[in-house]
Structure 1
């Protein structure tokens, strides 16, 4: 029971003799299991010859699970265990005991970045020195979020902001970084773009030189690995390592006690897609010196061999205590049962008292116990109803109680004034609410009614969140059913109209200036509303696209359900998100299939249909089906994705040698954002470059480089630098090629993109050939092909073919050049792009006139004679 006691104490008047008590149902077995689990975990860790943090093959015995049906009291139990742990630590004057609470049902809590930083913030109470973990996320953040300061992310989520500020997390991480790079950072806000790049280089270089955390195994590998969620999910190992390094203090001078409470775990292990559970499981496995107390509706199956390849660590050898056959050794899994009649009677007797005796008569208690069947939430609502009757000056009777859980929920609604009845119905539609959201969902309700409603005992409150109030999930579901029996109950239409208003309110808070976390959280709540009530708003499609364009596709879909849901728009956005995930995971054929099916049934002209189609076109391009993709882009002109469609149609024209058409379109385009303008400039540069107008191409690429630098766009700058190297190489300007390549590689350390590395190496091959260093050129050609094969980038072989033909032409080896040209011709015909290279290389072999007559038709910017003449001069002038 959380807030009903306080309310009863204040509402019964000065003359009332009823006293409210804070009561915890005495779950003796569960509390004892928690205490034994702490002792047993410390025993295992102390007796281990090698720490399980280091020996990752050791079995894990650090998970205590309480599972059972909704409303059984699991969350209350979790909070009570945390309270007792911290109270005992305070009584023992211990400062080496830490509890971290994570409710994975909260908006954004399932984001792996949020989860890890929340863990770090909680652990910060043990001390301010966490070098392994702090340096790894600092270098990760520099590459994963170029231009975005880590401090901005810490401040974006209310819960994370509160936890981080309570221990000065930003200052702690900044101090760890300053010890490595004293001049490179002026506070955590400096971890953005250039300062971040310097920080990453300093950390990486000291790791490579063996001067930084060389005793932390795998630290170097984690720092240098790709900056993605896959890498990030292994960072808990660094937290565990840092815990091992914490100084032993206190009277016992023993190892610190760390407990992480993961509540509402069914959100994680109740999904069909187990990707998120895989990340969380890694966290638990890699922190064997931490006790994870997991509460949820489902038993954890990690010890079952049937968990299969979806999870990394499965079977008895990994989790011996979690197998269903274990019913003695702690920590283990416990089914949280219904309360016994005697426990239920104790709760009801102690919750409200009069002159030291139970305020509820034995008959009323018996009636409640018979109806509740030991369900704690049922008892809690019954106590609330009793307190409400007292507050009205009435005398509760036996007939006022009992019945089904739905009946109790019905009485809870009926107890409320009319305005508050509508507010509780509104609150039942969404996971979290606040005063503004309630007013939006039920306009016209007086502020006083909203304020009174938010003090109701059945609402939980956590001011760490923007929307701090919530109804228990079981109560939300029961209210929907119970409301149908009331005379003024809402119809399905009433619920849908309220859901639309809530959705609109969420959308109004997702603007261009909204942070990534806020956007993802609003989208998650919106998707749940859409799935449950068949409502939709176009802002959800725009928010989805915004997160995809920002590279945050892994955060999408936390609110999705896999079962059939109402509304074609919801079905479309679900397919779009699934398609994005598949494409980014390299499963292009599956992405094409999913998106094609969705496009066939999507409501024509809707924004979600356009979203599906633009991602279908992207998937087809990745699959090498340029013609089909271009047809889809053509159909998207004039719609929401007009700018993207126009750009990719220009790219298609460029790939097929329609240079005049592409130029005219590019010159008429208006870029929406700096990222778009950078892409437009680079495509202009491509056209000038393949037309051998190298001066104009270089100038355009330099404009793109300057724009990227001014906007802090590291990835765009790296691309433009690679293109500049591809241009300078034809004039034999080794200095420019070397400088541009070196700078691009530095940036690609920050924002990895292996395709650009292929382009850089091919440019170096051409530069060496032009400089007469045929050995170095051939080595670079081999490297280009090897890199291209490694990442399945077919365009890399086209670039290698061109460099190899150049070598043959310069050496006068016509036969070799012709053989490679035949391969190039076949390659470009198959792919349907880059067709201009065949006449370009032919002018080196057969002369400009012959090259212009034979081969594919190309619309050169200033005609074939001028363009191919310039290309012929490249070889002749050398």
Structure 2
């Protein structure tokens, strides 16, 4: 309310004697509850024999919740509590009290990386040493974002950038790393991925040796765990542990006090899918020495019985104060009610004054109170309407006020000039706006009109966001209803045409030059427009694919869970995102089902249909259904995903021994970017390798290694190194195999990929067999099978079969070799791929001539006699 009234003062003209006052009415009980919660939490922490940070089984008493209907003043209350908390600390001379505010409705606000870095930035105001979190983050970042500077990520989001720069977050984390590894800072600064790897390995090795933070339980486990969002969601524990180690500072009487304000929490706990809420709940549970003040429309049900298994920490034993039966012990849950008539009258009397007396007459105030029934947003709009009437030189009458909330919203629109009425209608279509977006939505409106509109009191402003202005959600909905009763109100067609222009502007923000965060935020807003107004633009398909290819599929579209929509393209994009998430988490059959349903419901031939189908093909391929996948890739030729389809069709040709066809296609595929070019080079190497043209294969893999290294693509370099080892092993070049395997494993520490570990181990099995190390070779074959079983990688057993047949041939066990060949033949026929291995191993057992005449048909690069002759020479040599 304070911001609204302050702006109202500027609407009354130079001659007006009316002044606006900053007013915060009543909420005495809520303010008192906050004070008791702060005192109760830190008293409990001081009195606990064992810190709840360490004893993770202790019930959590660090959540204060205010919930109620929209427009009731929850956000205003939250801001006021934060202001008083900081003001009281300043009055006491305390320099160890900090707050962090997070509106979880903002795009990207609940991305786990963004959330944790904002928490860390807020805590950075207490000091620059947070070793457990900083070192674990450096280890995670080196593997999850190889080649990407942390500082670049910090600068991509306006909110995160402002928070990080206020404390020099990048420098603080870099200094923590420097204390452990003075030479390895490149891993954090985002230099070559080898420097990042050095940073990670130094930290990991010191942890293993017990020389680094051995007193922080689970620090070692978090450093060595997979670098994914699941691991990262447990990092708040490290922040809490670091906070627990903070010394008392200055005139402080007790431990540092930290309060995190989570506003608009219904975005998190109002979804059917509770995956995001699980991450946020972990953060709250693992930081029991921080008070979380949650404001939203829904009561938090974490302490209820029967919540289910979607959340980790549930029940009254975990959250004793949040149970519905608790109505005394703070912090707890509070239903925020409407203002009483006396409180509403106090607000209206104090909001606008003339010569120290209420500007509104008692009769007008009574009319407003009767209509508003204590809803603070209703009072705000009525005050704004009163100020607007004064600004036009009129004398407000009783009849100008009262009525429903929609009626008040209608008057608010009528108070505006025509151009500004169109601007407020535009702002009501989307969650956040800025001057550029408004001009895009209403291109004929003058800049001066846009500037005046952005100073209107019903808009809130937060310059932490790229689009800093917003209408209250309840007001957005009311404006949509109210506008239908106005003579110049927009039709559905008007809204749709404006939404299309807004969507086009967002598409420019999500263009190829935009960063990942900007693209993700634009896509999220675009999908909301699609869901609410039935509009669509193909840039949303391209942005989705771009983010998926960059590995940013985990939280993509999370803000739209449960949003109904009839727009088929919107539903198809949501299904594609879900399919990617299921496939990447090992639920391939579920992914196929979701994507198949979406494929059947979307318009055939559309770009959205192609997006769904390319990911359906990927899922089928992962499931070993190569033939079905290849049919889809064939259909995608000539479209948006032509390059992707051509590559995977080449791979299908290679798997089925059509080498000449694959080579011809690969030589014609250029310009797919460094990632695509690396894949092309590696597939060229595969063709040469299985044709026993090892020099050409090694050259292709080395080109791929150089390219990946120059582009900072650690995952691609690891693959090419594994392939180089798979090539050198056939020449008994144990030095190259050992060096390539070692370097690949180092990179796979950085970017885990268990499939490549299977390939490396199979190459070592071949190299040891070729070198006559029979025992070591047998062990390596067994290891290959175990690794393959562990990750359900069917192709791993094919590689193990080949190595086992080679070993049997070399030691004279031809009967055993034939038995394994029979298993290999069955395996490759069933899978529909890797069929060339049967004639290759037959050339060792029966000779090249016999092998060429039997087994599956293979189109060898230079004919079966030459190719199988080279393979026979491998064993003979």
Name the TM-score, length of structure 1 as normaliser. 0.99
Corresponding residue of 2:711 = 711
Secondary structure at 2:554's aligned position in 1? helix
Separation in 1, partners of 2:20, 2:841? 89
Residue 476 (str. 1) matches residue 459 (str. 2) = no
Corresponding residue of 1:633 = 633
Secondary structure at 1:321's aligned position in 2? coil
Corresponding residue of 2:172 = 172
Give CA deviations for 1:259-299 in whole Å, capped at 9, x if unaligned: 00000011111111111000000000000000000001111
Q: CA deviation at 1:218?
A: 0.8
Secondary structure at 1:320's aligned position in 2? coil
Secondary structure at 1:64's aligned position in 2? strand
Q: CA deviation at 1:416?
A: 0.2
Separation in 2, partners of 1:252, 1:698? 66
Residue 695 (str. 1) matches residue 695 (str. 2) = yes
Residue 810 (str. 1) matches residue 807 (str. 2) = no
Give CA deviations for 1:479-533 in whole Å, capped at 9, x if unaligned: 0010000000000110000000000001112222211111100000000000000
| Worse overlay, 13-22 or 69-78 | 13-22
Q: CA deviation at 1:559?
A: 4.1
1:657·1:835 contact (CA, 8 Å) conserved in 2? yes
Corresponding residue of 1:787 = 787
Separation in 2, partners of 1:245, 1:191? 32
Structure 1 residues 61-72: aligned runs within 5 Å: 61-72=61-72
Corresponding residue of 2:731 = 731
1:531·1:561 contact (CA, 8 Å) conserved in 2? no
Secondary structure at 1:258's aligned position in 2? strand
Give CA deviations for 1:67-88 in whole Å, capped at 9, x if unaligned: 1111010000000000000000
Separation in 2, partners of 1:141, 1:869? 49
Change in 2 beyond 3 A, CA 1:187/1:668: closer
Alpha-carbon RMSD across the aligned residues, in angstroms, is 1.1
Residue 622 (str. 1) matches residue 622 (str. 2) = yes
Name the TM-score, length of structure 2 as normaliser. 0.99
Aligned length in residues: 877
Structure 1 residues 345-494: aligned runs within 5 Å: 345-494=345-494
Q: CA deviation at 1:342?
A: 1.0
Structure 1 residues 524-539: aligned runs within 5 Å: 524-539=524-539
Separation in 2, partners of 1:446, 1:420? 10
Give CA deviations for 1:333-378 in whole Å, capped at 9, x if unaligned: 1111111111111111110111111111111111111111111100
2:186·2:192 contact (CA, 8 Å) conserved in 1? no
Residue 343 (str. 1) matches residue 347 (str. 2) = no
Structure 1 residues 470-869: aligned runs within 5 Å: 470-869=470-869
Q: CA deviation at 1:606?
A: 0.9
Separation in 2, partners of 1:7, 1:309? 48
Separation in 2, partners of 1:8, 1:748? 60
2:272·2:561 contact (CA, 8 Å) conserved in 1? no
Q: CA deviation at 1:13?
A: 3.5
Q: CA deviation at 1:802?
A: 0.6
Q: CA deviation at 1:564?
A: 3.5
Corresponding residue of 1:199 = 199
Q: CA deviation at 1:561?
A: 4.4
Give CA deviations for 1:701-741 in whole Å, capped at 9, x if unaligned: 00000000011100000000000000000111110000000
Corresponding residue of 1:101 = 101
Corresponding residue of 1:241 = 241
2:276·2:558 contact (CA, 8 Å) conserved in 1? no
Corresponding residue of 1:134 = 134
Mark the runs of 5 or more structure 1 residues left unpaired by the alignment.
Answer: none
Separation in 1, partners of 2:57, 2:12? 60
Structure 1 residues 11-410: aligned runs within 5 Å: 11-185=11-185, 189-190=189-190, 193-410=193-410
2:186·2:199 contact (CA, 8 Å) conserved in 1? no
1:624·1:831 contact (CA, 8 Å) conserved in 2? yes
Separation in 1, partners of 2:13, 2:688? 84
Change in 2 beyond 3 A, CA 1:403/1:41: same
Q: CA deviation at 1:16?
A: 2.5
Give CA deviations for 1:428-447 in whole Å, capped at 9, x if unaligned: 01111110100000011011
Give CA deviations for 1:814-847 in whole Å, capped at 9, x if unaligned: 1111111111111111111111111111111111
Separation in 2, partners of 1:198, 1:628? 43
Q: CA deviation at 1:201?
A: 1.3
Separation in 2, partners of 1:11, 1:37? 40
